[in-house]
Structure formats: C-alpha cells, structure tokens
Amino acid sequence: MTTTQTPLPWAEAIWGAGIGFRNVFYATLGTGIGSGIVFDRRIYHGRTGSAAEGGHVSIDYNGPRCGCGKRGCIEALCSGPAIAQRARERLTKSKTPSRLRELAGGTLENLTAEHVAEAFREGDALAREVLEATADLLTVWVGNIIDFLEPDVIVFGGGIARLRANSSPHANRVAKVGNQCALLRNPNAASEIRFRRRNSRRRRSLPGGSHRATQHGAQNRA
C-alpha cells in the first residue's frame, strides 16, 4: 500500500468499522485495490514495510497483465477501470440495446464503473452481468484471504465498495460466499467473519485521525 493508505486499516480498527475487533483486514476498492492488515491491534508491515499488497494477489495466472507486471491480479480484474473494461468488451460483442451505451455518450472509451452501477440500478441486463462477474472474482479473492488470515472482520472502503453497497445483492454475494469458504475449512467456527463498509463519516469527524494512525504505525515498526 502507499504511504497515504497505510494508516487506514489501523484507523478503521480503532475508530471505524473495525471497532471491537483485534484482527482486521482492510481493502480499498477504487481505481486500484489496496489493503492492510491489523494483527492484535497493530499494523502488520512485513520485513521491509511492503506487506499486505492484497491488490496484487493473483487469482488467474492466465488473466490480464497488471501494472505490477504479474497476470491476473485482483486489481487487474476488479478495480474500477477493470469493471469499465469488462463492460466495454461485452458491449463490443453484444448487439443487445443497453443503457450503458447512452451513459457513455456513444463512445465506449468514456464508459466508467459509475456508469455500470447506474445502469444496473436502472435494470440494465448487461450491467448486471458485468457486476455479477466482478462479484464472482472478488469471492475467489476474499475466500483466499479468509483461508490465509482468518481475520475477525473484513472492512471494505473506496469508491467501488460504495458502488457495490448500493448495488446489492452483489455485496451480499461476496460476503455470503466468503463465509461459506471459511465454514468449509472450519465447520466448527464459532461465528461468521464480519464484513463491514468503511465508516467514512466517523473518520471525517476525527480531525487528525490519519496523522495519529501514521504515528502509531511508525511506533509499531520501531
């Protein structure tokens, strides 16, 4: 994660959607996909400070090439630009009328993930297919995260997370399948892993919170 993103997992664990949980996995879904890990209320940085690059975990080695150079990273499959590209590809192959063409102004290069969400809310079938495909990919990634870390809670933030929250049932689909992965691995699990949206309102009400989180992270690494 970049320096500006690093404090967010800890801030969410202390003041936001992760309150009351000791182990938090935070993912921000937007133009890229970043993540962070809080173990026992401490940010996990790794040996060199580059840990928790969840956006560059590959789920398809034959998938599209990511900006990092690898293929099939979740960022290359489920970020905002990836959603828009998936919609463009489907529109190119389909002759079915779609609200997406109108929202793009007749120029597919202008299509955005926000257009896809808007078309879905208006009942557009192709937009639904695009979001369903994206949700399916995210469930694979989330299932892997759960198998590897088994956090107490997974918190989603970023523009794409807000789009999915407003485009249910796709957000619920990711949470449901993610928990199914956890239960298959551990049928005796006492409770389901929680899925939460980033509490941006609370974050805005805490001036200097990001700065304090940065200081706390630096202390943890010392």
pLDDT of 102 above 90:
yes
Q: What is the mean pLDDT of the chain?
A: 79
The pTM of this model reads 0.78
Q: What is the DSSP letter of 121?
A: H
Question: What's the pLDDT at 73?
Answer: 97
Q: In what order do the strands lie in the sheet with 153-157?
A: 42-43, 33-39, 24-29, 153-157, 194-197
Compute the average pLDDT of residues 197-203: 58
Q: Distance between CA atoms of 151 and 24, rounded to whole angstroms?
A: 6
Domains of the chain, start order: 7-221 (3.30.420.40)
pLDDT, tens digit, for every residue of 36-82? 999 988 889 899 988 889 999 999 999 999 999 999 999 999 999 99
Q: What is the DSSP letter of 34?
A: E
The residue ranking higher by pLDDT, 155 or 87, is 87
Question: What's the pLDDT at 210?
Answer: 43
pLDDT of 208 above 50:
no
Question: Could you give the percent of the chain with pLDDT greater than 70?
Answer: 70
pLDDT of 18 above 70:
yes
The residue ranking higher by pLDDT, 69 or 10, is 69
The residue ranking higher by pLDDT, 173 or 5, is 173
